[in-house]
Amino acid sequence: MSVRVRFAPSPTGALHLGAFRTAIFAYLFAKGQGGSFLLRIEDTDQKREKEGSVDNILRSLHWLGLDPDEGVYLTQSGEIAEKGDVGPYTQSKRLPIYHEHIKTLVENGKAYRCFCTPERLAAMREEQQKNHLPPRYDRLCRSLSLEESTRRAEAGESFVIRQAMPNGEEVICDDLVRGRVVFKSDELDDHVLLKSDGFPTYQLASVVDDHLMQITHVLRAEEWLPSLPKNLLLYKAFSWEAPQFAHLPVVLGSDGKRKLSKREGAIPVLEYAERGYLPEAVLNFTAFLGWSPGTEEEFFTKEELAQRFRLERVQKAGAVFNQDRFDFVNGWYIRQLPVERVVELMRPYLLKAGLITEQGFAQELAVTDSFERYFSNVAAAVQQRLKHFDESEEVSWFFFKRPVVDDTLRQLIIPKRGTAEETYQILKEIIVLLELEKSWITSDLEVALRKFIEEKAHKPIAVLWPIRAALTGTSASPGTFEMLAILGKEESMLRLKPLVHD
């Protein structure tokens, strides 16, 4: 049988990076094995479902390039649809299927109706806590005969259906990440399979769906490991062969101790899109959260990741999220982009900031290049500095707006260990030199200014810093020669001269 792997999120809100790590691993494993990647929506907990969640999940997967081969997906027109031969792929549409299978379990004595009221269950748990006993159902209704149970159900009495856990058994699984794990059935609760509202719990629905959808491998977070013996015993109760399981390490915050929080990085994936992260960078970074290729290689395409991904390379220990590393990876991918793409991705941020308009410059500047050529030069100049595109305004505003000549700027242009008198004298000489300069390209401007530095025996910072600070109004920007060349002679002079005139 070919490999079939599913990602089965619950629509209880936008999923964050840690949750999508599971989707990424499932996709890479499926593709690397020449198999299929399915998307199933597990919406049986109707009280927790949030409107718009399914759309958000699908758009997030599409942005990451993880569109499913089968299951729930977004059409080109943005509508939610399903494809495949073993649907429906949304659990709330599969209730008759679950009822049919739970009936079989009850009739075979593998499950039973429980008529205990919430009040009795609460009192039972309170008593267990007082006696320091593990909280579990006391199996009161397990002794009911099938005939008595059926009579009470037909009389309209409210009930849930619980799995009848066997006694004295060992449940053994060779997990593809954690190795052999062993559980004792005597320590397991007779947990609920079907709720009183007729909806299945995760335990029932996931097992039935994985079997009927022919899932061969289940990749899920390690927090589901306690559910594993329940799942395996349910497969046994149905006389079905269980898929192979792989429980993935938790994603930890930067301290390496606590689970990743929203404050550090557990934010919805599409927020990373809004912040100007590239999907290929998010994919590459996230793939390394708990996995490594076993080499020093750091950057892969999606196809290369799929070829290299192996579950035996997934670690057992928690994976630490590092924001600086994330930004470095995204910055690397930004640097690989053609300049035209950088322009395209910077544009919406600069439009929002009011630095440019749909037609071009928002402020009149004395530049001779066309707007698009000028913008292209700007993008090339800041591309090396961008970590994500929502920094576009911060790293480039001075290209589109002249710095205000005020006391702050006058103080900024004075380099460390320099004096105002020396700085302004040097700046005056520089202006004279640059006005005579005929070739206004980066290399020739560098030759002219370095010759000036050598002849006057100045330190480079005493000459280059005041020019750059005056042109940009900030301490962080592209280099002096590059700034002069991009702004052009006239615009550069309009920024330099006001600083030496009273």
CATH of residue 485's domain is: 1.10.10.350
Where residue 327 falls among pLDDT bands split at 50, 70, 90?
very high
> Among the three residues 400, 428, 451, which one is the final residue of a domain in this structure?
400
Mean local confidence (pLDDT), 45-49 = 82
Residue 178 located in a structural domain: yes
Q: Helices 460-472 & 480-487, crossing angle to 10 degrees?
A: 40
pLDDT digits (tens, 9 = 90+) for 101-140: 999 999 999 999 999 999 999 999 999 999 999 999 999 9
User: Could you tell me if 218 and 295 lie in one domain?
Assistant: no
User: Could you tell me if 189 and 110 lie in one domain?
Assistant: yes
Domain count, the chain: 4
Residue 330 located in a structural domain: no
**Residue-level length of the chain:** 502
User: Could you tell me if 113 and 204 lie in one domain?
Assistant: yes
Express the helix, strand and coil content of the chain in percent, nearest 5 each.
Answer: 50, 15, 40
Q: What local confidence, expressed as pLDDT, does residue 165 receive? A: 96
Q: What local confidence, expressed as pLDDT, does residue 299 receive? A: 96
User: Could you tell me if 276 and 302 lie in one domain?
Assistant: yes
Residue 326 located in a structural domain: no
Where residue 262 falls among pLDDT bands split at 50, 70, 90?
low
Mean local confidence (pLDDT), 33-47 = 93
Active site residue 262: yes
User: Could you tell me if 285 and 308 lie in one domain?
Assistant: yes
Please enumerate, as own/partner, the contacts of 472-480 that have beta carbons within 8 Å and a separation of 24 or more: 472/398, 472/403, 473/398, 473/403, 473/404, 473/409, 473/412, 474/398, 474/403, 474/412, 475/412, 476/385, 476/395, 477/395, 477/398, 478/381, 478/382, 478/385, 480/449
User: Could you tell me if 117 and 200 lie in one domain?
Assistant: yes
Where residue 263 falls among pLDDT bands split at 50, 70, 90?
low
User: Could you tell me if 104 and 186 lie in one domain?
Assistant: yes
pTM above threshold 0.75: yes
User: Could you tell me if 241 and 106 lie in one domain?
Assistant: yes
**Alpha-carbon Rg for the chain in angstroms:** 32
One-letter amino acid at 84 equals: G
Residue 444 located in a structural domain: yes
DSSP annotation string for 153-189: HHTT---EEEE-PPSS-EEEEEETTTEEEEEEGGG--
> Among the three residues 345, 378, 400, which one is the final residue of a domain in this structure?
400
In terms of residue numbers, what domain contains 213? 94-248
Q: Is there a contact between 173 and 232 (Cβ–Cβ < 8 Å)? A: yes
> Among the three residues 233, 248, 263, which one is the final residue of a domain in this structure?
248
Residue 73 located in a structural domain: yes
Residue 137 located in a structural domain: yes
Q: Out of 50, 103, 262, 459, which one is annotated catalytic?
A: 262
User: Closest by alpha carbon to 281, among 331, 247, 322?
Assistant: 331
| CATH code at position 260 | 3.40.50.620
- In this structure, how many other beta carbons lie within 10 angstroms of the beta carbon of residue 153? 15
Residue 331 located in a structural domain: no
User: Could you tell me if 233 and 268 lie in one domain?
Assistant: no
pLDDT digits (tens, 9 = 90+) for 384-443: 999 999 999 999 999 999 999 999 999 999 998 889 999 999 999 999 999 999 999 999
Residue 325 located in a structural domain: no
User: Could you tell me if 244 and 100 lie in one domain?
Assistant: yes
User: Could you tell me if 121 and 239 lie in one domain?
Assistant: yes
One-letter amino acid at 491 equals: E
User: Could you tell me if 183 and 48 lie in one domain?
Assistant: no
Where residue 502 falls among pLDDT bands split at 50, 70, 90?
low
Mean local confidence (pLDDT), 143-160 = 96
